Amino acid sequence: VTVPQIGAMYEGDASRKRTLVDHGFRLPSALDNRPLKWEEFQERIGQTVYLSATPGKYELSRGDGFVEQIIRPTGLIDPEVVVKPTEGQIDDLVHEIRQRVEKDERVLVTTLTKKMAEDLTDYFLELGIQVRYLHSDVDTLRRIELLRELRAGEYDVLVGINLLREGLDLPEVSLVAILDADKEGFLRSGTSLIQTIGRAARNVSGQVHMYADKMTPAMEKAIEETNRRREKQIAYNTANGIDPQPLRKKINDIVATIAREELDTEQLLGTGYRQAKDGKAAKAPVPSLGVVKAGQVTVGGKQVKGAKAARAAKDAAVLTDRPAEELAALIEQMTERMRGAAAELQFEVAARIRDEVGELKKELRQMREAGLA
């Protein structure tokens, strides 16, 4: 839990309940059932250890000192940060991407808006670059699949927004491009920039390119902090004769977890619907949907291109050759099973069946839209 969220819990809860008390059907006593205020929380805690790669002013001001973990066991150093002008930034980025692709390395590109992420993806696809985009509209499991596919080399560039900010270990990524780095705001604050820069710190030849026309205080803070760490890391490696080694991390860790969960789901449901999913047979595309070509897909006699083509291809791949009538019957059968599980208070089983029903309904809807039902 980050420190600002502790105070935000009370404020958010109070704001919501005040509206219900003033304009809805809630008694004023509803306000008494609440999280702790920030001051109340402080009164109840004793000695506290704050652990963060990017500590804030509050954490630093409360302690008599702090311990920095700058040296990595692998000898890896923080990436070099390069600031470039925004004029011609996309052409420059394309050039940098092609250089990384030749070395079998990956690239992360961070934007400020979903539309920009999608438009940039469309443009890269037209240039023949293997690219995907990632933002909050993308399903959670699909996000995991996208990250696995990036590491496996199924595509080379991932365009995203805030989702690329922290917590992603992608050793194959050697370049992080930050577009509109000089735009002030949450996504371009000093802390956010430091976290984004860290995405390239898992690769021996990691670099970060910031595209900006001016140097903001946030950029200065991020660059100064990164350079400070680099100097210490390089000095330590030189003094101890350490040769930086790339981070080695298995690609199938997340996939194996998903596979185990799906097997567990299948056993709970007692149905063979997802039996062939691991072998991709359950997602075999319907022949009548047409052929998927580079950058375009034909769906229902209409051609779509770019990122829309990528989404259409993914949706087409979800369709099975199961007859629509059988699919509808299966939905009804599983809905009854879901209600039965809920009646027996087996809510976890009911929730999993509900998710399966939702996926089946999506397939049926896609079949109807494609004129197959």
Q: What pTM did the predictor assign?
A: 0.58
Strand partners, 292: 297
pLDDT tens-digit readout, 253-277: 555 555 555 555 555 555 544 444 4
pLDDT band at 250 (very low <50, low <70, confident <90, very high): low
Asked whether the beta carbons of 131 and 157 are under 8 A apart, the reply is: yes
- DSSP label at residue 276: T
d(CA 179, CA 108) in angstroms, rounded, equals 11
The residue written with tokens 């997340």 in the block is 254
- DSSP label at residue 184: -
Q: Could you give all domains of the chain from N- to C-terminal order, each with its CATH number?
A: 3-46 (no CATH), 80-240 (3.40.50.300)
Contacts 24+ apart (CB under 8 A), 365-369: 366/315, 366/316, 366/318, 366/319, 367/286, 367/319, 367/324, 367/327, 368/324, 369/300
Residue 341, classified by CB atoms within 10 Å of its CB into exposed (0-12), middle (13-18) or buried (19+), is buried
d(CA 333, CA 266) in angstroms, rounded, equals 15
The residue written with tokens 């240039």 in the block is 127
- Three-state secondary-structure class, residue 158: strand
> Once rounded to an integer, what is the mean pLDDT over residues 280-305?
43
pLDDT at 52 > cutoff 80: no
